[in-house]
Structure 1
C-alpha cells in the first residue's frame, strides 16, 4: 500500500510539474506575442519623420518596408517560441526523472562533459548562429539588399541563421558566415545621396551659374519621370573648390536606396545643356591657345 501511495504521489508531482510548465509556456508565448506586435508597430512608424512621398518611395524600395520588418520580427518570434518549448521540455523531463528517483548526477555530468566538448568544437558554429539571430533581430539587411561586407559588394540572395549568400556584380555567388561579418554597409536601407560636380571657368559669376543650375534641375522631383525616384528636388550647394582655371559647383541629389544613378546622369546632362545655352564657359585649361588666364 505504501509503495502504491508513493507512486501516486510521484505521479501527482509529475502532473503538477507538467501543468506549471504549460502555464509558463502560455505566459512566455503571450509575452513573445505582445513583444512581436509592439516591434511590428514600431516598424510601421520608422518613417514617421519623413514626408508622405518619401515614405512611399522608401517603402516601395524595400529598405524600410513595414512588411519586410514584420516578416523578420515574426520569424524571430517563432525562433524564440521554439527555444522556449525546447527548454521547458528539457526541464520537465529532467524534473520528472528526478521525481521517480532516476540518478541525475551521472546524467548531468555526462551532459556537462559533452556540452563542454561540443562547445569547444563548435565555437564558430555557435558564433555564426548567434550573429544570425542578432542580424535578424536588428533588421540589418534582407533578401534583395545591396550590401558591403568587408571587401565584398553584392546583392543578398539568401539569409539563414548561419550563412548569408551574396551575388556580386560579376555574377559570382559568395557564401559569408554570419559570425565573420564584422563591418557591414547596407546601400539599400534608408535612402541614397549623390553629388554631381559641375566644373566651369573660374572667372564666371558664381551666382549666375547657380541660378542657371537651379533652373535646370531644381524641379526634377516634380516631374512624372523622376517623382518616383527622387525624395526631394535637387539642391545646388554652391561653389565647392577652385583651382587653376576651374571652379567646381556641386548639386546634391536625394533618392530612394540605390536609385541615384539615373538622376545623376540626368542632372549632369541638364546642367551641361543649360550652361551651354546660357553661354557659361567650361574650365580654362592652362596652355590652350586663346584661353584667358584664371582670375
Structure 2
C-alpha cells in the first residue's frame, strides 16, 4: 500500500510542468499562511477568553483550572490546523486522498492492536480533564506520589515532588487522586504531657496558643479547638488540637503550633514526657 502511494506521488510530481509548479507552490504558501493566521487568531481568542474569565474568579483554583483548559485547547487547535493544512496541501499536489485514507485506516488498525495502553492513557486523560479532577498548580497524591502538578496532558500527568524530583505518571494507571488544593484542610497537632502534669492546665495553655496564632496567621480560618485526651501512652498523655486552614497550608500551621506549644509548656512548667528507665537495686 505504501509503495503504491509513493509511486503515485512520484508520478504526479514528474507530470507537473513549471507553470503548474508555480501555481501549486502559491497555493501551498497560501495554505501555510492561512494555517498560521488561524493558529494565532485561535490562540488569541482562547487567551482573551481565559483572561476575561480569570478576572472574575476569586479562587486560585478556578484560575488554575482555566489556565489548564487554555493550554489543552491551544494544543488541540494546533494539531487540528496542522492536520487540515497537511491534507489540503496533499490535495493541492494532486495526491489521491482515497489512498491516504485507506492507508491510514489499515495503519490505524495495526497501531490500535499494538498500542492499547496508549489508547487507555488518552481516554483516561480525556475524562480526567473533562471532569476537572486536578489542575496545574494543585498539590495532589496520585498512586502514592505526592507533589505539585506541573503538567497535564492527554497521555501523562507530571508531578514535582517536595525535593524537586519530577514524576511522570501515565493517565491510564491513575486509579485514585487525592487533591489537597480544592478545599480547606485540617491541621492536627498531637502533644504529649507527662502523667504528673495538670491536664486541664495544658489544655488551657494550648487554647491560648491557638488563639494567639490565629490572630497572627491569616491561613487559619477557624479557631483552633482542643479536643482533649486522645490516648494514654507508656510515658504520657496525648492531647489533640484541631483547626481548619486554607488549602495546602496545614503543614506550616502544624509546625508553628508545635513550636509555640512547646515553648509555652516550658514557661508554664508542663513537662513533655521522654523515655525513662527505673532501676531498683535490692540488697542481698
TM-score if structure 2 supplies the norm length?
0.61
Alignment gaps of 5+ in structure 2: 1-48, 85-97, 280-284
> Greater relative contact order: 1 or 2 (C-alpha under 8 angstroms, separation 6 or more)?
1
1:57-113 CA distance string (max 9 Å, x none): xx3xx3xx222334455677789999999xxx9xxxxxxxxxxxxxx9x99988765
Alpha-carbon shift at residue 153 of structure 1 (Å): 2.7
**SS of equivalent residue, structure 1 residue 215:** helix
Q: Quick one: structure 1 residues 219 and 166, their matched pair in 2 at CA, closer, same or farther if it must change by over 3 Å?
A: same
Q: Which residue of 1 aligns with 2:131?
A: 138
Aligned pairs for 1:1-295 (under 5 A) are: 59=59, 62=60, 65-72=61-68, 114-223=107-216, 226-227=217-218, 229-283=219-273, 286-287=276-277
Q: Quick one: structure 1 residues 278 and 156, their matched pair in 2 at CA, closer, same or farther if it must change by over 3 Å?
A: same
Output the CA distance in 1 between the equivalents of 2:148 and 2:65: 18
Alignment gaps of 5+ in structure 1: 1-35, 45-55, 90-103, 290-295
Alpha-carbon shift at residue 278 of structure 1 (Å): 2.5
Alpha-carbon shift at residue 215 of structure 1 (Å): 1.2
Q: How many corresponding residue pairs?
A: 218
1:113-148 CA distance string (max 9 Å, x none): 555333212322222211111111222222222322
Q: Which residue of 1 aligns with 2:27?
A: none
TM-score if structure 1 supplies the norm length?
0.59
Alpha-carbon shift at residue 252 of structure 1 (Å): 1.3
